[in-house]
Amino acid sequence: MMDFFSRKNILITGANGYIGSSLTNKLKQSDCKLFLLSRKGGKSMKNITWYKGDITEKGIWKKILQDIDLVFHFAAQTSSAIANSNPAKDAIHNFLPITEFIETCKNYGFRPDFIFSGTVTQVGLTKSIPVNEKFRDNPVTIYDIHKLAAEKYLQYYSSEFNGRTTILRLPNIYGPGQASSRADRGIVNLMIKKALLGDSLTVFGSGKYIRDYLYIDDVVSAFLTAAKKIKKINGNYYILGTGKGHSILQMVNLIKKEVEKRINKKIKIVFREFLPGTSRIELRNFIADPSSFKRDSGWKSAIMLQEGIKKTVEYFANLK
């Protein structure tokens, strides 16, 4: 697969983030030229050019889209709570950069392929599982409304401006990576880090709600596959996952078991009531039906939760 990216100019926004940095590390194995944007920046070297900047800056797309063949867009504000408390600020980070991208492409003739990172929560509260693309979108958070609006604008880019784009809606992501796990995202990695310290693990409610957990290597593979198959899947969005669900309590118990073997200490699970103001989107069951993306691209997940937790525990335990 990596030969496909040879000699391409590839832009990754949010390149210091969890998925962005993981994808960057994979693409370094190919003979491509990487152009990386993040607020922190980085050290440029052969075939790697870093831009230190924010995707919300006026004129940023004109600066970074010169001669770009392919864009992977991960730069975003990722907290649903922050989005609900300040919708205007969230729009500046999650929606307006896409309108600015399209306007820049229109004005300057840029037409890079564009792969967008969406979220499975855009569909809202479903009455049944598993969830596929036939379900009607009904977002219940500001964050998801803005992600869906950005998605619709990208489909407009595809249909009206002859740009090629696809959107991958992601479930709970976990796995190795130093850039993972901000305070209110990446629950699996957060739990693993706490357990390795010997801390108790907090479960809100009974832990009954079901989630679909996707390993980071499978996420990277999905984005690379989407880029390779962009001609066939242009304009589409896809719901990703393993197709297998585990309750939050099952996930926590898998972590507890794996970590206890490693640190030779019992890990306590503490149950607490949901915090006031908890979003309705947290009080739902979700399992993906990823068959559409598998059918159209050939991609499928390779790592199931038990194996993925074992690999992730090993990674963080050995991290210096």
Residue 182 has pLDDT above 60, yes or no: no
| Pick from 310, 306, 308, 320: nearest CA to 261 | 310
Tokens 């409304």 belong to: 145
* pLDDT of 43: 87
pLDDT tens, residue by residue, 102-143 = 999 999 999 999 999 999 999 999 999 999 999 999 999 999
High-pLDDT (> 90) share of the chain, %: 92
Amino acid in the structure at residue 275: L
Mean of pLDDT over the chain: 96
Dihedral sign from CA coordinates of 24, 60, 71, 101: positive
Region for residue 182 given its phi and psi (left: phi exceeds 0; alpha: psi -120 to 50; beta: otherwise): beta
State the Cα–Cα distance between residues 238 and 275, nearest whole angstrom: 32
pLDDT tens, residue by residue, 130-181 = 999 999 999 999 999 999 999 999 999 999 999 999 999 999 999 999 776 5
Region for residue 165 given its phi and psi (left: phi exceeds 0; alpha: psi -120 to 50; beta: otherwise): beta
Specify whether domain 2-247+278-318 bears CATH 3.50.50.60: no
262: its two tokens: 């490693």
Tokens 């004005």 belong to: 107
State the Cα–Cα distance between residues 302 and 267, nearest whole angstrom: 29
Confidence of residue 48 (pLDDT cuts 50, 70, 90): very high
Amino acid in the structure at residue 237: Y
State the Cα–Cα distance between residues 193 and 67, nearest whole angstrom: 41
Distant-in-sequence, close-in-space partners of 238: CB < 8 Å, separation ≥ 6: 133, 166, 167, 168, 169, 226, 290, 292, 293, 296
Contact 125, 138 (CB under 8 A): yes
Query: What ranges in 113-211 are assigned the alpha helix state H?
Result: 142-161, 187-196
Residue 316 has pLDDT above 90, yes or no: yes
| Pick from 248, 233, 242: nearest CA to 202 | 248
Least confident of 40-44, 108-112, 201-205, 309-313: 40-44
Confidence of residue 310 (pLDDT cuts 50, 70, 90): very high
* pLDDT of 78: 87
Residue 319 has pLDDT above 60, yes or no: yes
Confidence of residue 320 (pLDDT cuts 50, 70, 90): low
Kindly write down the DSSP assignment for every residue of 242-271, as one continuous string.
-S--EEHHHHHHHHHHHHHHHH-S---EEE
User: Mean of the pLDDT values across residues 8-25?
Assistant: 97
pLDDT tens, residue by residue, 203-252 = 999 999 999 999 999 999 999 999 999 999 999 999 999 999 999 999 99
Higher pLDDT, 291 or 77: 291
User: Mean of the pLDDT values across residues 34-57?
Assistant: 94
* pLDDT of 80: 87
Contact 288, 218 (CB under 8 A): no
Confidence of residue 79 (pLDDT cuts 50, 70, 90): confident
Contact 163, 111 (CB under 8 A): yes
pLDDT tens, residue by residue, 80-110 = 889 989 999 999 999 999 999 999 999 999 9
* pLDDT of 305: 99
* pLDDT of 62: 98
User: Mean of the pLDDT values across residues 257-266?
Assistant: 97
- Cite the beta strand spans of the chain per DSSP E: 9-13, 33-38, 48-52, 70-73, 113-119, 165-170, 172-174, 201-204, 210-211, 213-215, 237-239, 246-247, 269-272
Confidence of residue 270 (pLDDT cuts 50, 70, 90): very high
User: Mean of the pLDDT values across residues 245-265?
Assistant: 98
User: Mean of the pLDDT values across residues 247-274?
Assistant: 98
State the Cα–Cα distance between residues 131 and 179, nearest whole angstrom: 29
Contact 3, 56 (CB under 8 A): no
State the Cα–Cα distance between residues 278 and 185, nearest whole angstrom: 14
